[in-house]
Structure 1
Amino acid sequence: MALSGGEDGEDGGGSGPLFPDLSAEDSEDSGPTLIESLCMNCFQNGMTRLLLTKIPFFREIIVSSFACENCGWVNNEIQSAGKIQEQGVRYTLHASTRQDLNREVVKADSATTKIPELDFEIPPFTQKGALSTVEGLIDRAVGGLEQDQPMRKATNPDVASKVEEFIEKLKKLKELETPFTLVIDDPSGNSFIENPNAPQKDEALTVTHYKRDAKQDSMLGLQECTEEEKPENIKEDLRNEVLQFPTNCPECNAPAETNMKLVQIPHFKEVIIMATNCEACGHRTNEVKSGGATEPLGTKITLRITDPSDMTRDLLKSETCSVSIPELEFELGMGILGGKFTTLEGLLADVKELIVTKNPFYAGDSNVPEKSVKLKEFAYKLDEIMLGKKEAHLILDDPAGNSYLQNLYAPDPDPEMKIEKYERTFQHNEELGLNDMKTENY
């Protein structure tokens, strides 16, 4: 097998990113890697081209393209090179309009696709990952079933007839004679269904983040650490020093160091702050995890933003906290943006970056003028709130009770802030994994 990464044969080593951005100005040294491979059609040697790159607003991918000069057979494939997320994700779409069929979908190869009305399911790892639409997923399923129909008709006509009948049912879904439900359940957390109403809440789409079970971790190649591997007295160590452990940069995938420290927030509780600084690309990221147990009651914090000084309030948003701004008809679900210890201005800036700057449907080939106008209007209103020109309400709703917003009048009550404690519902406990947690009679 011959391996070539360019004319000089260099492997691209150095301090640069492992997955460079796609660019029309890429040099020859950053081109694809050539590998002489066996053609599975004529069993002679062909050439495979591998390209490690990063799609803007998406994630790292490996593009593989094989071509055989002897028989002309070609095969193209895309594999995700992104990391597995901390939580799995389940998207439930109730499709009833043509716009729903045009929603863009990122389906990872670890995702399970279901259409309950037809009792149809595509198991994980039976299809390669794809960037498509809802209609494209249906067409892909139809194409997979039609592929072996000639052989079925010759060997088992009864089965072929039933499969043909089922294919017709799939095709009728695109006519939307009756609404149907599309469920994409991805334990890796790397799948996605577009919200065409962004930044407003999507009434037809339900997004649920959940903790993986042992079977799903095993399917993804993850292993839980044993009791012998768990560090002893970790809280005591975190109080006294900053711990470091090796990781990979979430931006360029180069080796980096993550710092971790336990911090006590005044008038609140302990939190764990993790920060990563990549020397290769300069990317910096931080995340906050609660250092305590889940509170007995959920917490809902409502702040009336009336003055620019409100932007300086310290804010802790846990990974279980949802954020909403009623005046903008905006809601950010739990799990999105992760945990953060920042200021109110910092949170709103992160929301703007997520919805506008990093939105894959805001720029490039996926850009739709109507969506761009709507998102620009949202960014303008958000800027007015941050500058104190527009009054608004910020609502932090955390069923785990682990979020916090600074009271500028402490220890006296804050006239602009309302804190409510509430009993969690069964659905809240289900999302937090508390319904299956047993802590008694052990």
Structure 2
Amino acid sequence: MSALGSPFRPLGADEGEDEPRPAEIESLCMACLRHGTTRLLLTRIPFFREVLVGSFACHSCGWADAEIQSAGRLQDRGVRYTLAVRTRQDLNREVVKTDCATARIPELEFEIPAFSQKGALTTIEGIIDRSVAGLEQDQPVRKETDPDVARKIDEFILKLKHLKEVDEAFTFVLDDPSGNSFVENPRAPQRDEGLVVAHYKRSAEQAAMLGIEEEEADEKSVEPADDLRNEVLQFNTNCPECNAPAKTNMKLVQIPHFKEVVIMATNCEDCGLRTNEVKSGGAIEPLGTKITLHVTDPSDMTRDLLKSETCRVEIPELEFELGMAALGGKFTTLEGLLKDIQTLVEKNPFTLGDSCAPGRAEKLSVFSRKLQQILDGQRRVHFVMDDPAGNSYLQNVYAPEEDPELRTEHYKRSFEQNEELGLNDMKTEDYETEASSEQ
């Protein structure tokens, strides 16, 4: 046994006197009905968890088999791994695929359904080889009974084999509702740019497939705040454009690694007006916040952001500044906010008609084209959000790790900023004593 007394030895570790060794059991071979040997090993996969690896070998007929099972409990959530396979090295990544996991290659519309293969500790190339072997198994009989289907399967097998050359990148998706499958990150514990890991709540069908019952929440034990997060509130109001009766929807949303916000949306069925507004769900922060993002890649356009009604937006390279009141509060993406700014510029009423100053329309047209270049990923700029109330947010796609292109600074508000927020005349301590002394 190891020093810690654990029965699990690290995957790939050298066998030593103190390390657990595979247990060997004499078993019946299902191919020739003679005796073979089953070997079982409890092993620990780095940056994952413990698994049970089993293999069988028959010395009489040569038949061999292997499978893997999780040595732990079902996880609280399912897991989905999405890997962009770009090089042959990616084919060598180790994969733990449980029998309830589904593997897909979207480019070929190919899927290995759950429970169609036993669990395996293999590689991505190994999964492709197992799929090819499974398709080739019944081909001789199929060619005699249904030649057309056999021909199509042969063509598909060639496509699967061609994937191993990695002439073109393809996507490998491993979806396991039990949460016990795994795709290796060779750079662990650092982030893998080509691998996306998503955890999700199991559906009722997935829970039934795993043979478990979903835990029904006790209505009496649900906190009011939790109940509010799961409910969309609706109240009657009037349309700000045509004053017709309309309805406003309100939802409390928790932004990861930030705070709660309230999103309100109004839709008028008479004039078709649609508005949305975001309000901070918390108090004004003790310090102001200045967020600076160096936009270097088109993928930055997909970052979520929360612009509160007290936030100013700057793009120094374009000498552009958007004041606090403009556009109001918004919960959108960087692309969405830049498009709103572009629309605001292009539909500015002071750039239309005879009242437009000479050259102003041309300047705004040039500015709009520069904004479009940013949206198309052709121009690198710094995007700055300065919120004295500290209630704005820009997504860190590397969270909880540090984002090299994102910088957040906290600063003490000036007197003018406190005055604009109405804080200088606000008294929150001993106000009852002061009120009684004035009387």
Normalising by structure 1, we get a TM-score of 0.46
If you compute each CA radius of gyration, which structure gives the higher value, 1 or 2?
2
Normalising by structure 2, we get a TM-score of 0.46
Instruction: Identify which of structures 1 and 2 has the higher relative contact order when contacts are C-alpha pairs closer than 8 Å and 6+ apart.
Output: 1
